């Protein structure tokens, strides 16, 4: 049993939705339904998986379904955030950088794996473009350009940062976020079988070594063309690396309380971050 919250708390929901290759309308509808459901359950913030609209493994359709930041997918998500009074981490789309108008881009052309955090009024608070592009049995590194910016935003009194999937293997990125004040890192992903141990171990390690909350948001579903099945298991870890809430591999809504009081207490009682030698 976990102790009751002792400080500011944030009700977090992870929307592990089914993602089907190139079924844009159906995938976005599932995301919108998850936002509605999370709001009805009292969540302050809901996070969606990586490339929840097009499907990560649908590489042949990246260019065809790329959108500007101001395109239909993010526009519908931000409208849903405002309608339901809930912050949303739109776990990522394939962004057409050349067509984007309102957001600073890391390159003038190309495609990026882009996540956006909208607050409960629909206002943009954070943009994260995936830094580390996957090359192993994946065309992502060939098709997309990496992001450069590391940002944080405040949601319900909690300082939030974001990374994406493969980024979990690069702990220096998480140190940057911690140095920027992050207390909760959201990790939208499309993590497949069979690498369950990597998914769980890396996520837990990022939470432990940075004494922060880490929430991993995976999708559910199979991609026949790539012979890949998403393993689900969306999970919220506390700063000790303890699992607060998690799922199996089927679509689900994972709910957990982010308690800043416990984070502050852990950092005070076990001051590993203060003992860093740079």
Catalytically active residues, by annotation:
50, 130, 165
3-state secondary structure labels for all residues of the chain: CCCCCCCCEEEEEEEECECCCCCHHHHHHHHHHHHHHHHHCCCCEEECCCCCCCCCCCHHHHHHHCECCCCHHHHHHHHHHHHHCCEEEEEEEEEECCCCCCCCCCCCCCEEEEEEEECCCCCEEEEEECCCCCCCCCCHHHHCCCCCCCCEEEECCEEEEECCHHHHHCHHHHHHHHHCCCCEEEEECCCECCCHHHHHHHHHHHHHHHCCEEEEECCEEEEHHHCEEEECCCEEECCCCCEEEECCCCCEEEEEEEEHHHHHHHHHHCCCHHHCCC
């Amino acid at each position: 049993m976990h102790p009751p919250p002792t400080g500011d708390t944030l009700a977090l929901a992870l929307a592990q939705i089914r993602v089907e290759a190139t079924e844009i309308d159906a995938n976005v509808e599932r995301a919108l339904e998850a936002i509605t459901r999370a709001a009805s359950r009292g969540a302050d913030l809901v996070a969606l998986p990586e490339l929840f609209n097009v499907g990560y493994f649908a590489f042949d359709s990246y260019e065809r379904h790329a959108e500007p930041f101001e395109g239909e997918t993010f526009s519908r998500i931000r409208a849903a955030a405002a309608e339901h009074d809930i912050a949303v981490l739109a776990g990522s789309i394939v962004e057409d950088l050349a067509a984007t108008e309102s957001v600073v881009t890391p390159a003038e052309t190309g495609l990026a794996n882009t996540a956006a955090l909208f607050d409960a009024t629909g206002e943009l608070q954070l943009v994260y473009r995936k830094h580390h592009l996957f090359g192993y049995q994946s065309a992502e590194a060939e098709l997309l350009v990496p992001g450069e910016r590391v940002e944080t935003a405040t949601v319900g009194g909690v300082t939030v940062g974001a990374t994406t999937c493969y980024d979990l293997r690069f702990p220096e990125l998480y140190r940057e976020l911690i140095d920027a004040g992050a207390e909760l890192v959201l990790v939208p992903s499309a993590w497949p079988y069979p690498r369950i141990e990597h998914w769980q171990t890396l996520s837990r390690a990022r939470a432990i070594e940075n004494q922060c909350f880490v929430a991993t948001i995976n999708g559910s579903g199979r991609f026949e063309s790539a012979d890949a099945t998403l393993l689900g298991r969306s999970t919220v870890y506390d700063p000790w690396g303890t699992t607060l809430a998690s799922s199996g591999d089927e679509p689900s809504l994972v709910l957990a309380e982010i308690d800043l009081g416990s984070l502050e207490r852990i950092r005070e009682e076990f001051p590993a971050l203060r003992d860093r030698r740079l």
